[in-house]
Amino acid sequence: MDNEENYSRRQPLLNAAKRVVVKAGSAVLTAEDGLDMKVIKGLAHGIASLQDSGREVIFVTSGAVSAGNRKMRFAGSKPLSMRQKQALAAVGQSGLMHDYSEAFALHGKIIAQILLTHSDLASRSRYLNVRNTIHTLLENGIIPILNENDTVSTRELKFSDNDNLAALICNLLEADLYISLTDVAGLFDSNPSLHPEAEPVRLVHEVTPKIFAMCGSSKSTVGTGGMITKVRAAQTVATGGGSSIIASGKEVDVLQRIFKGEEIGTFFMPNSEKMQSRKRWIAWVLKPQGCLTLDAGACRALSEHGKSLLPSGILNVTGDFSEGDAVQCADQSGNVFAVGLTGYNSATVRKIKGRRSAEIRDILDDDHRVEVMHRDNLVLL
């Protein structure tokens, strides 16, 4: 696809984007001695310019641990422990926000800090409260700056990386565009560090296994994720009807140049059909607590006919889960193709799996429902 066709596909979406989420990773923000103030000031300038153009901008940032390490250096060459990272984040978060506050103040902008853990979005009521808070900030011309609350986050509470957090925020706010700024120039058809002849991928219509195969397995020496996490984030945003760009955050005036039409980074098109907000929450926010293996008939009923999941089609139950938890559905080969909210806990599902509706009413003494997952609470992946 030539440059002119790429431009014709991406530029109308860029022009129409009124709500934008910008994410900068640690590899972009970090210099040898801590935070790179030149980059921070450049980002503040770019985000302020986007807001001045009439857009709403939400900024997702990493860098608290790096900022803390600038002040509090742990001795030794061993990888940092969770406790050490949490201590560095506690020291660095205030300094990080101070630096942002000064950088944005140069452009007359007010910022607000929001620190989140995964549980803040996994609870439906707290999820909606976060959305309402951000909407209020945007209505008052304030730029929300979000980060994972690394000081208290444990493995169970983490988003896994800020790419995932940013994608979830895009879907939470129904943002039009997600810009992931990293230390590479975008997606390439092979690893450019190993293959000098690698070509950049400028436009992705749909995230497929072929696209994931291009991601490789490399990670930044500073960040927590690799290209695969950024592409997965773009895939998540696409389900909510948003576009995405992966580009180098080290480029001068990168945000302004993107909107002016320069062919920078990799542009990901939105899905043609937008998934409902609640189903996006089920599919992308909740962490599955178990898995149900289904027979061929149940797989067809769910994937081809939009039916609810009945106990008769369940062959096996793995994991311990409660009523209302997210649970995956897989075929007999182990391929996960759906996720949904279960109407029963794992012990009950084990009792009724493979049983017909009439039997279940006798087993459970319940005449009201037999579905393990209602179709309204089930999402095909």
pLDDT (0 to 100) of residue 156: 46
The CATH number that applies at residue 359 is 2.30.130.10
**CATH code (residue 49):** 3.40.1160.10
- pLDDT for 212-251, tens place per residue? 988 874 444 444 458 999 999 999 999 999 999 999 999 9
> Checking DSSP bridges between strand 56-61 and strand 143-148, what pairing results, if any?
parallel
Q: Are residues 246 and 189 in the same domain?
A: yes
Q: What is the pLDDT of residue 155?
A: 56
Q: What is the bridge-based pairing of β-strands 243-248 and 291-294?
A: unpaired
Q: Are residues 233 and 329 in the same domain?
A: no
Same domain, 258 and 310: no
Return the closest-CA partner of residue 133 out of 148, 120, 144: 144
340 and 254 in one domain? Answer: no
Total structural domains in the chain? Answer: 2
Q: Please list, in sequence order, all residues whose beta carbon lies within 8 angstroms of the beta carbon of residue 32, skipping any fewer than 6 positions away.
A: none
Quick check: 27 and 220 in contact, CB under 8 A?
A: yes
Q: Are residues 243 and 364 in the same domain?
A: no
180 pLDDT higher than 80: yes
**Crossing angle of the two packed helices 162-173 and 124-139, in degrees rounded to 10:** 80
Q: What's the Rg (C-alpha) of the chain? A: 23
Same domain, 162 and 209: yes
268 and 319 co-located in one domain: no
- The stretch 32-49 carries a mean pLDDT of 90
**Do residues 304 and 264 both lie within one domain?**
no
Task: Name residue, tokens 């397995």.
Answer: 217
- Burial bucket for residue 160 (CB in 10 Å: 0-12, 13-18, 19+): middle
In sequence order, what are the residues at sequence separation of 6 or more whose Cβ sits closer than 8 angstroms to the Cβ of residue 208?
Answer: none
Residue range 291-329, pLDDT digits in tens? 999 999 999 999 999 999 999 999 999 999 999 999 999
Query: Are 147 and 64 a contacting pair, CB within 8 Å?
Result: yes
Given 279, 309, 333, the domain boundary residue is 279
Domain end point (choices 279, 297, 319): 279
179: left (phi over 0), alpha (psi -120 to 50) or beta: beta
The pLDDT of residue 221: 42
Residue 196: which pLDDT band, with cuts at 50, 70 and 90?
confident
Is the same domain home to 343 and 218? no
Number of H helices, E strands in the chain: 15, 15
Range of the domain at 300: 288-380
Query: Do residues 42 and 22 both lie within one domain?
Result: yes
For residue 377, the model assigns a pLDDT of: 94
The rounded mean pLDDT for the chain is 89
Question: For residue 65, what pLDDT is reported?
Answer: 80
Looking at residues 203-208, what average pLDDT do you find?
A: 93
Q: Point out the least confidently predicted range of 72-86, 118-132, 159-173.
A: 72-86
C-alpha–C-alpha distance, residues 241 and 24, integer Å? 22
pLDDT tens for residues 272-286?
Answer: 888 888 899 999 889
- Among 279, 310, 332, which residue terminates a domain? 279
Q: Are 369 and 376 in contact (CB under 8 A)?
A: no
Residues 269 and 328 in one domain: no
Q: Is 111 found in the same domain as 156?
A: yes
